[in-house]
Structure 1
């Protein structure tokens, strides 16, 4: 088991986009794209993810976890290699659409594989800890790649993209050393389109799942708009452009530490405590820099840490309430719902931020979301003790599965 988990960590390391991220915008500018075109193609990526989540989650249940993850890595490698040859808005739009597909092929599926592996060995309560460590590995590798990206770009603008393509390709041989999960050989289809639609309707209307999706979507709005508008907000409070690189390197390290601590925090606070703590944390943090603007700097670091810490805890909660058959479909549906909320907030929030300023916009958003989330928590109790086998209409029974073993 230890060897398998280490290989999983190695696979997760190949998912880094660290070579790409620090130089992506300046590379597209060098190819003749203006900021409007760059914003458009990145918007295509976001909504492409929303459109692709459900079909690729279905595909993961149909093809099997490993094959789907391998397809995601192969498409990512192709996209990164394609950046070397792209020189028009149309070409970059096509690449970002393909990358959205690759992203959704992996979202939910890698978590589903890890959870099922642990469940088969009666270690499902270790999911948050091991998932957090895997994310820490990815973030540390990404930090190192980001530091190298500038030097590679200076030598040749194509090199960061070649490096990212090679890294994604390295994930393919690692994946096929990992065992299949979910009680199948990864060769037998287990999902149909009609079952997928029925499954999502059934699971999303369960109070223990549906209300937490709504609650999580509220804070995903805060996470997303902060990420989009933090650069102009940081400049507004006096952080120089040259200092942004140092800030973003710090983000990676803080995020790595937070994800590694996810299991310990969950052990101490419990899932309910972790999710409930979001209300006072973000209410206080975002109100603070409305009064003292420089407090935005620790707030954006805290935002990174909290979002990375919460993700594995939230995913374990959903996994505990799903059967193996259809797990990736439901997790992708959850991701789609969260991405849709974030994308809508980004589109609508842009004009508001221009009107009142990014610092004020972020402060108002954080406080307002915390207040709404507090009311939702009191009215609905989003976190409930409702494991998969405790529900009369479980996924396995809906699909006639007899091999589901998740508690």
Structure 2
């Protein structure tokens, strides 16, 4: 059990210790890319991730979590290797395809393997604790990496990519070190089986459906807020030297909150926890909209605390309702909803910001989250006695 958990920790580090994030736009600009080119590259990444999200989860269920994690880590490494030694838009496009595919192969398979590992040793009650720790490791790694990435970039914009490729490589031996949990799963028709799992998750098992939808809405909400942070800092005319510090503090906050997620969940219970998460997430958008001052940074801090709580807790609820032979697929359905919802609302929210104001964009975002979030939370409570 410890071997798998330690390996999953290392895989998380290899994916989240992102040295390139603080300087990637500067890197693109140095190689002659405009902002439109940057958006195209990120769109390609998102499209690859969305298109493969559910099939990759299903692949993890029938081919094996370990094999998917190995392949995902290899593709992730080659993505950054491609960035390290190329300079053209076409090459960067290929790198984004590799990174998006690698990321998607790991998503879902890691949490599913973690839950199955704890279940095999009759320690399912420890799943949320380990999921919280893995989330914490990812956010701590992202926070610390931002500082080192900036220091490396001071010498050369290539250095963070060289180092990133080395870090990505560490995930490969960690994935090979994993032990697959024994599962019996013989499938005759993969397409039919995927459709069966989607139907079961979103139609047949109503309680699971409501949990997946609520978790997807909250995930999209926290991802959207992450993209609001920089516009808020720009609105406040924050000195550029503070961007990295604020970014690091927010990510450390998520990590610390995730570490305590299992205790918070035990204290409040699923019903109160769901209400609290929705109220704070929606309230964070509204409060920030009317506090576009440096006091608003305290609101962001509280928001990020609940971002740290929400991810492991809501994924834990889904895992508890899911059979082992479809767990990775179900978690991928959740990730698919997050990406799809973000892709649908982000351009509209950006347009509101450009055409009207940051405040309007934040308030409309709050409404977009509140309505479906409250709906699925209410349906969830109304079905608490279902299997």
TM-score of the superposition, structure 1-length normalised? 0.88
Q: Is the 8 A contact 2:216 2:334 kept in 1?
A: no
> Are positions 1:52 and 2:52 aligned together?
yes
Structure 2: state its 5+ residue gaps: none
Out of 190, 193, 202, the residue aligned to residue 191 of structure 2 is 193
Q: Is the 8 A contact 1:251 1:301 kept in 2?
A: yes
Q: State the SS of the aligned residue for 2:195.
A: helix
CA-to-partner distance for each residue in 1:54-90, whole Å, 9 max, x for gaps?
2211221232111110111110110001112332322
**Is the contact between residue 224 and residue 342 of structure 1 (CA under 8 Å) also seen in structure 2?**
yes
State which drifts further: 304-313 or 96-105: 304-313
Question: Where does residue 203 of structure 1 map in the other structure?
Answer: 201
Cα–Cα, structure 1 residues 364 and 267, in superposed 2: closer, same or farther, change >3 Å? same
- Kept after mapping to 1: 8 A contact 2:281/2:306: no
Is 1:275 paired with 2:274?
yes
- Separation (CA, whole Å) in 1 of partners of 2:75 and 2:84: 15
Contact 2:284 2:300 in 1 (8 A): no
1:290-342 CA-to-partner distances (Å, cap 9, x unmatched) read 33322431232333322222111111111111111122122112211221011
Preserved contact between residue 257 and residue 309 of structure 2 (Cα < 8 Å): yes
The answer to whether the aligner puts 1:148 opposite 2:148 as a matched pair is: yes
1:33-61 CA-to-partner distances (Å, cap 9, x unmatched) read 01111112112212221111022112212
In the superposition, relative to structure 1, how do residues 204 and 375 fare at CA in structure 2: closer, same or farther (>3 Å)?
Answer: closer
Pairwise CA distance, 1:198: 1.3
Q: Which stretch of the first structure deviates more once superposed, 107-116 or 125-134?
A: 125-134
Q: Which moved more, 1:280-289 or 1:331-340?
A: 280-289
Write the distance in 2 (CA, Å) between the matches of 1:161 and 1:285: 35
SS in 1 for 2:325: coil
Q: What is aligned with 1:288? A: 287
Matched, 1:15 2:23: no
Task: State how many pairs are aligned.
Answer: 385
Q: Separation in 2 of the partners of 1:106 and 1:190?
A: 24
How far residue 258 of structure 1 moved from its aligned partner, in angstroms, is 1.0
- Distance of 2:217 and 2:289 partners within structure 1: 20
Give deviations 1:131-175, integer Å, cap 9, x for gaps: 111121222233232211122222232221121211121122222
Distance 1:284 1:140 in 2: 25
Paired position in structure 2 for 1:112: 112
1:367 Cα offset (Å): 4.8
Aligned Cα root-mean-square deviation (Å): 2.3
Residue in structure 2 matched with residue 249 of structure 1 by the alignment = 248
Three-state SS of the structure 1 residue aligned to 2:323 is: coil
Tell me whether 294-303 or 305-314 shows the greater mean CA deviation: 294-303
Q: CA deviation at 1:256?
A: 1.1
Counterpart contact for 1:182–1:325, Cα < 8 Å = no
Match in the other structure for 1:335: 335
Matches of 2:379 and 2:319, distance apart in 1: 24
Contact (CA 8 Å) 1:47, 1:343: kept in 2 or not?
no
8 Å contact kept, 1:73–1:102: yes
CA distance in 2, matches of 1:380, 1:316: 15
1:47–1:340 CA contact under 8 A, matched in 2: no
Q: Deviations over 1:163-212 (max 9, x none)?
A: 1211121122222222211436x9x7797222111111122112112222
The CA deviation at 1:244 is 1.1
Q: Secondary structure at the match of 2:170?
A: helix
Offset, 1:385 = 5.3
Q: TM-score, normalised on structure 2? A: 0.92
Shift of 1:271: 2.4
Q: 1:14 to 1:321 in 2, by over 3 A?
A: same
Checking the alignment, whether the CA contact within 8 Å between 1:209 and 1:382 is kept in structure 2 is no
Residue aligning to 2:224:
225
Deviations 1:257-290 (A, max 9, x none): 0111111111111222222112321343332233
Structure 1 match to 2:166: 166
Q: State whether structure 2 residue 258 is matched by structure 1 residue 259.
A: yes
State which drifts further: 124-133 or 294-303.
294-303
Q: Which runs of 5+ in 1 are unaligned?
A: 391-407
Query: Partners in 1 of 2:157 and 2:97 — Cα distance?
Result: 22
Q: Distance in 2 between matches of 1:277 and 1:383?
A: 19
Deviation, 1:372, is 4.8
Deviation for aligned residue 1:30: 0.7
Distance 1:200 1:237 in 2: 44
